Amino acid sequence: MHILHVVGARPNFMKAAPVLCGVHGRNGTRQTLVHTGQHYDNNMSDVFFEQLQLPRPDLNLAVGSGSQARQTAEIMVRFEAVVLERKPDLVVVYGDVNSTVAAALVCSKLMIPVAHVEAGLRSFDRAMPEEINRLLTDQISDLLFTPSQDGDENLVREGIVKQKIHLVGNVMIDTLIRLLEKAEHCAPPHVPERYVLVTLHRPSNVDDLEALQLILEALAEIGRDVAVVFPVHPRTRQRLGQLGIDLRIFHLLEPLPYLEFLALQRRASAVITDSGGIQEETTYLGIPCITLRENTERPITVALGTNVVVGRDMTRLRDHLNRAVSGQWKRGRVPPLWDGHAGRRIANILS
Ligand code: UD1
């Protein structure tokens, strides 16, 4: 069997690594890895391949940045040629980025079976490009691998037959468990002893300058009491200069490699974020997480884990942060099957 994996953006890499590893060496199976090039900077892509010990991609489609339509369309055109030439028996797509839906759509028209890793997550917010990507990818996938029970329930409600759905656990946590000890020994960037860690990149937070201004004003206020360490995503970097805020109060960093970022999460008093994956990683690590979004497609991190969703309510942000830094935070539990073996379960099913 020839399995072709498609990755494109930073959060795909830590999800694909355990599946590639789980399938590797199985009798009668060969694998091809295609990078769409949606993320192309060294610090958004190459360094992750090195640290996660991912094989070099067999092909890089080098699509680069563009509008939603242009990027998605460009991936489809270039990926269609790859599928026609390489003739995989199965294509595996990851997460909810534009590369995910573009590759799935190409395969569905060419009648190539598609497996979706991290299926079933829903924010129920169709203003998010990722929600559209999730909904469409799941409808046209043949195998749906979910990280938690809520994913199964969402899929069944959308009419997907149960036989296609497999609750396998969280592949991103596989990677975290594998590399946590290595991260403990890596030297993260020089930061103060006590700090909160911030990441922001959602279009709803950073493309809307008024929203971004409000968030940064609140963070600047927080920065007077506790150090704010802020690795800046390229999308956010483009906007920061357009605000009338003195950024010197923050410890601004370039986007960090996987191990360095994991080390910083592990030692943070709290994490403030709008990322999906970081809500999961902090839940596993037991670190307080405050999510600056109106909703989450990962409700288990709130129900069982250490996450709270505060939307754009900056008073709630400050209240929760005070609680976190003074040690008054819910304890949280690690969700079922977030145990480091999701990649192996997927490989068993694929076999
Ligand atoms: C994408 C995903 C998002 C994911 C995020 C992780 C979609 C719709 N969104 O958002 O779900 O959480 O990746 O990072 O797929 N840029 C660079 N260098 C790069 C990549 C991007 O400078 O290596 C800049 C580009 O100028 C681009 C901007 O960042 O305009 C945004 O990149 P893009 O891939 O469009 O989406 P993300 O915001 O990264």
Burial (0-12, 13-18, 19+ Cβ within 10 Å), 202: buried
φ/ψ of 3, rounded to 5, equals: -105, 125
Dist CA 265 CA 179 (whole Å): 13
Stated pTM of the model: 0.97
Stretch 276-298: mean pLDDT, rounded?
98
Tens of pLDDT along 202-216? Answer: 999 999 999 999 999
Per-residue tokens: 164: 């296609």
- Whether 56 shows a pLDDT value over 90: the answer reads yes
pLDDT at 70: 98
Dist CA 308 CA 270 (whole Å): 11
Task: Specify whether the backbone of 304 is left (phi greater than 0), alpha (psi in -120 to 50) or beta.
Answer: alpha
Tens of pLDDT along 34-43? Answer: 999 999 999 9
Dist CA 141 CA 115 (whole Å): 6
Tell me if 293 CB under 6 Å of ligand 1.
Answer: no
Tell me if 55 CB under 6 Å of ligand 1.
Answer: no
Stretch 293-321: mean pLDDT, rounded?
97
pLDDT at 245: 87
Per-residue tokens: 181: 């000890």
Q: What is the three-class DSSP state of 212? A: helix
pLDDT at 39: 98
- Whether 13 shows a pLDDT value over 90: the answer reads yes
Q: Give me the domains of the chain, ranges plus CATH numbers.
A: 2-181+338-350 (3.40.50.2000), 189-255+268-325 (3.40.50.2000)
**Which one has a higher pLDDT value, 337 or 246?**
337
Q: Which of 116, 201, 251, 341 is catalytic?
A: 201
Task: Specify whether the backbone of 169 is left (phi greater than 0), alpha (psi in -120 to 50) or beta.
Answer: left
**Position 244 confidence tier, pLDDT thresholds 50, 70, 90:** confident
Task: Tell the residue nearest (CA) to atom 3 of ligand 1.
Answer: 97
Find where tokens 């986007």 sit. Answer: 255
Determine the residue of 65, 75, 125, 237 to mutate for testing ligand 1's pocket, defined as the one with the most ligand atoms within 8 A of the Cβ atom. Answer: 65
Dist CA 42 CA 51 (whole Å): 12
Tens of pLDDT along 128-137? Answer: 999 999 999 9
Per-residue tokens: 101: 């839906």
pLDDT at 241: 85
Contact 70, 102 (CB under 8 A): no
pLDDT at 189: 87
Determine the residue of 38, 43, 67, 256 to mutate for testing ligand 1's pocket, defined as the one with the most ligand atoms within 8 A of the Cβ atom. Answer: 38
3-state helix, strand, coil in the chain (%, to 5): 50, 15, 35
Instruction: Say how many Å lie between the first and final Cα of the chain, rounded.
Output: 9
Dist CA 72 CA 93 (whole Å): 14
Q: What is the three-class DSSP state of 295? A: coil
- Whether 336 shows a pLDDT value over 90: the answer reads yes
- Whether 262 shows a pLDDT value over 90: the answer reads yes
What residues have CB less than 8 Å from 25, skipping those under 6 apart?
A: none
Q: Is 2 a catalytic residue?
A: no
Task: Tell the residue nearest (CA) to atom 2 of ligand 1.
Answer: 97
Burial (0-12, 13-18, 19+ Cβ within 10 Å), 187: exposed
pLDDT at 120: 98
